[in-house]
Amino acid sequence: MLDPMRHRFGANYTPSRNWWFCWNDWNADPIRRDLDAIAALGVDHLRVLLIWPYFQPNPTYVSPLHLDRLSQLLTLMGERHLDALVTVFTGQLSGWFFLPPFNRAGAEFYTDATMWAAQERFIRALARTMAPHANVIGFDIGNEINTCWSAPTDVGDEWMEKMLALMHELLPDRLHINGVDHMPWFQRTTFSPQALVREQTMPVMHCYPYWTGAMKYGGAMDPPSVKLLAAMAALIRSYAGTQQKPVWAGEFNTCIMELDEKQQAAWLEKAVLAAMDEGVSWFSYWDTHDVDRRFAFNPLEYSLGLLTNDGRVKEQGRMFKQLADAYRGKPVAFPKGRVPEPPKVQTVEGTWQWILNWMGWKPVVTA
């Protein structure tokens, strides 16, 4: 289950009924239907997003009701041979912020003693709930936690090391990660790339052509877009100093609204094949289902699923199944040759120049 040397194909779960608000409005029946449809696509694991203030509304209290709902979800997933990565301090999700009432802003999140006590209480309660479930991959610290709470990298690195040590203590022999967005790989913010590769068996990247700025350098089917996963894997290995470091594409999609289903499916095929050529181990697509348009979200969020909100398999869903059926369990082929040096200038612009040089792509830059 935890072998980073063989390919896995999963997705980030977005419940079709009531999005992740369903933690507070629980109905297992639509979740069962979702999971049946997801498993039929060849998905072998799901990233599950907790909403932190729902689960822990007070620093000294973790909701038994919500812990029981998590346990139910893990059981339902296990019955369908779906493994679970449980994402904790969320925090931020799909453009909305879910901050606990006892929140400390900025670096205080990582340094305040009362904040750590609350965080530790939550992790211990979750670990007790998750431990009996054999299908649990492990913890993801948070959904792009650096977008909620920023700090100098020395502060963030120290906290991350301490948090991952706690997770390994409570759930040994599992895989625990820090699912940051692309920014810590592009510029120095909250967590250093050196610590991210040092502290994680398999560093995680979140890759979106739209959000990373790839569209400044080419079209949707040009290398800056379709080879972004491959390039970010090469970037991560440049900081690791070895071609043998496994990499997990923990979130990826285009977020390019202009692409229709067939174009999105074509992008998915090109992006995954290029990433496998660069030795990316696991793939977790964003996301399983489209978001119900009755909820207020950035329009980019509504149509990112492999399935529509009412369960129809989209073209990208069919492509995902083809890729998963063809490559799941196959050995990862790591790149050969010299590991490139990291970017000399760790800014967004400097890192993009590194990526473009790595691709050998000379774009016509647009505004």
The values of phi and psi at residue 285, to 5°, are -70, 145
Q: What is the pLDDT, as a whole number, of residue 1?
A: 78
Q: Are strands 204-207 and 248-252 parallel, antiparallel or unpaired?
A: parallel
**pTM, two decimal places:** 0.96
Q: What CA–CA distance (Å, rounded) separates 287 from 302?
A: 10
Q: Which domain holds residue 177?
A: 8-359
Query: Does residue 286 fall inside a structural domain?
Result: yes
Dihedral of alpha carbons 154, 157, 159, 162, sign: negative
Query: Does residue 366 fall inside a structural domain?
Result: no
Query: Does residue 202 fall inside a structural domain?
Result: yes
Query: Does residue 60 fall inside a structural domain?
Result: yes
Query: Does residue 61 fall inside a structural domain?
Result: yes
Tell me 216's DSSP state.
Answer: G
**Which is nearest to 192 in space by CA: 165, 161, 157?**
157
Q: What CA–CA distance (Å, rounded) separates 119 from 113?
A: 10
363 pLDDT tier (thresholds 50, 70, 90): confident
DSSP letters for 195-243: HHHHH-SS-EEEE-HHHHTGGGSS-TTSHHHHTHHHHHHHHHHHHHT-T
Beta carbons within 10 angstroms of residue 246's beta carbon: 21
SS3 71: helix
Query: Does residue 308 fall inside a structural domain?
Result: yes
Return the structure tokens found at 154: 């020395």
Q: What CA–CA distance (Å, rounded) separates 173 from 233?
A: 25
Query: Does residue 263 fall inside a structural domain?
Result: yes
Query: Does residue 1 fall inside a structural domain?
Result: no
- One-letter amino acid of 263: Q
Q: What CA–CA distance (Å, rounded) separates 196 from 68?
A: 32
364 pLDDT tier (thresholds 50, 70, 90): confident
CATH of the domain at 201: 3.20.20.80
In this prediction, what percent of the chain has a pLDDT beyond 70?
Answer: 99
Domain tally, the chain: 1
Q: What CA–CA distance (Å, rounded) separates 100 from 141?
A: 15
Please determine, for residue 366, whether its predicted confidence score (pLDDT) is greater than 80. no
Please determine, for residue 249, whether its predicted confidence score (pLDDT) is greater than 90. yes
